[in-house]
Structure 1
Amino acid sequence: MAKVSLGDPLEKHTFQGPQVDRTQLAHIQKLVDAGKADGTLLSGGHRHGTKGAYMEPTILMNVPMSSDAYKEEIFGPVVIVNTFKNEAEALEEANGMEFGLFSSVYTKDLERAVRVAKALESGAVGVNCSVPLRALDMPIGGWKQSGIGRELSLHGLDLYTELKTIFIKYGKDATALANNWHSGEP
């Protein structure tokens, strides 16, 4: 992680740009500090440089679920690595969060990958990848307290529309039906 190049996102050599602003940087730092206090810092964990809102890529390990670093969506270059004894324990920990934007499953066993992906309470699951692969026809969005609705694809339009269903029966039968309805007759 120390080799990751931070800088202007328009430069070719840059792998990671800044956070959106210093307020977000401070929020990330607060959560990283909580993770360091509750778990183990393996890499990073500090602001990078004195200009801009750059955060070092950070790896935390063995951070308990009770830690603010674990309970909140950090939205920064931070990953928490915890171990588990079996699949059930991993699912219990992953699904025990109130957020569910994106999850990853790493395995060579395709049956396990599909089984775990289905069981994860997450809007998207990457198998053997940690970055959502974007395609314009695939909706992206979270479950639980993550996100609002879906982005991309036709499902993304739902945020901008109000649905209405109109039933129309026309012709002679419709007039009789409407007259009976207004008169209270069946």
Structure 2
Amino acid sequence: MTDTPDADKADAATASGADADEREMARRQFAEDLSIIWEGAGTNRMDGRVLGYLMIMDRPYISSADLAAALHASAGAVSMATRRLLDTNFIRRHSVPGDRSHYFRAEEDPWGSFLATEKNHFDREIEVIEDALELLGPDESAARVRLTNGRDYLHWIHGYHHKMLADWQAHKHERDARASAKE
């Protein structure tokens, strides 16, 4: 791989030869396992592979070229996946001064970050449904019921996201406090 020299030195210092190969195979397997779960949920499989690899790797960031090499994927597939993962806040872009390559890292809490920004998706969906409601004629009552239920559900879940995110943050705080108390 051609990631940063410091990252390569860190990898070499923590593992050698067969151990490093075994750890790399385990990282790749984790990425594949996560990708299958994502695909089953209707999400792009490559997104799951990229996120899985970024979550389990030891380096603070990795280049898109190294992601493609590690995942045996095309540069285009990695580029599209990183774009989607950036849009949903599962990953972050990292810049290296003087280097034009694209580098990425997983969010510390990708699901919490996603939850915090998922409301943007709901806002867009609500807007589309409200536009459709305006198009309906007075005799289209079945469609009106479905669209009204969809809009109102999205409003409801949008409001509930704030509570879920606060509950998640409190849960993490309590978990970390318990872990600190055990140390």
TM-score clears 0.5: no
The TM-score with structure 2 as length reference comes to: 0.25
The TM-score with structure 1 as length reference comes to: 0.25
Specify which structure has the higher proportion of strand. Answer: 1
Q: Which structure exhibits the higher relative contact order, with contacts defined as CA atoms closer than 8 Å and separated by 6 or more residues?
A: 2
Q: Highest CA radius of gyration, 1 or 2?
A: 1
